[in-house]
Amino acid sequence: MEGMEFNAFDCGQPFLCPEQVIAHVKEHYQLSVVEIKPFDSYDGQNFYIETVNVEGKRLPYVFKVFNSALNNQTPALSATNNVMEILKQKGFPCPEVIPTVKGDLYQLQEFTKLTPSVSPGVLSGIPTANICNLKSVSEIGRVKDTFAVQLLTYIPGVTIHDLDVLPDRIFEEMGELLGRMHLILKGIKMDYGCLKEKGDNSPGHWCD
């Protein structure tokens, strides 16, 4: 998240402190976070967290905060969860959504969000985890916003961006993976009208 452009604050981008995530996970999942660090994100926010169970074993999760523009697109969030579950049942390494103590797979939660009250560029280069440490009222402001959030199991791996050398068949393997996903999902009837692009008049479900 370093070098985040100023205009990201104007499009529903969440900027939560690790302390806010820790408190939310404790209240809604009854889990005590012992380690937390931010992941790179596009228009949302993701945190890697570790908790400790009663046996003293560390359990890793990902806490995901969606862009507030998705607040009125909760059917899309449900559809995404359903697709992940279907693929997981077919052997794909998909994360599992962890329900809250009330059984919710995601929540619409109000948070106090940090937002700049200064000219563009002042916060450029400040890691997300350090923004909460800014104390000057002249440099930082606070507003309330609502975000969809959920907790997922963590699946270790390496992104293509982090590979120093690309394997010879990486793109062929990606194509094969997408092909397998297509074969699995094309036979699933599911309302995906909420996911369609503007102007797409196709039926709102996958079918044979």
In a domain, 162, yes or no: no
The tens digit of pLDDT for each residue in 73-112 reads: 778 888 888 889 999 999 999 999 999 999 999 899 888 8
Q: What is the mean pLDDT of the chain?
A: 77
The tens digit of pLDDT for each residue in 110-146 reads: 888 765 443 333 333 444 444 444 444 334 556 788 8
Q: Binning pLDDT at 50, 70 and 90, where does residue 160 land?
A: confident
pLDDT at 154 over 70: yes
In a domain, 137, yes or no: yes
In a domain, 134, yes or no: yes
**How many domains does one find in the chain?**
1
Dist CA 159 CA 52 (whole Å): 27
Q: Are 141 and 117 in contact (CB under 8 A)?
A: yes
Sequence-ordered strand ranges (E) for 56-163: 58-65, 97-98, 107-116, 140-153
Q: Does 190 or 171 have the greater pLDDT score?
A: 171
Q: Which domain holds residue 61?
A: 6-71+95-157
Helix (H, G, I), strand (E, B) or coil at 161: helix
CATH number for the domain harbouring residue 18: 3.30.200
pLDDT at 8 over 60: no
pLDDT value for 176: 93
Q: Model-level pTM?
A: 0.73
How many helices (H) and strands (E) the chain has is answered by 4, 6
In a domain, 170, yes or no: no
Q: What is the mean pLDDT of residues 33-44?
A: 89
In a domain, 58, yes or no: yes
Q: What is the mean pLDDT of residues 184-208?
A: 58
Q: Binning pLDDT at 50, 70 and 90, where does residue 33 land?
A: very high
Q: Binning pLDDT at 50, 70 and 90, where does residue 200 land?
A: low
pLDDT value for 118: 37
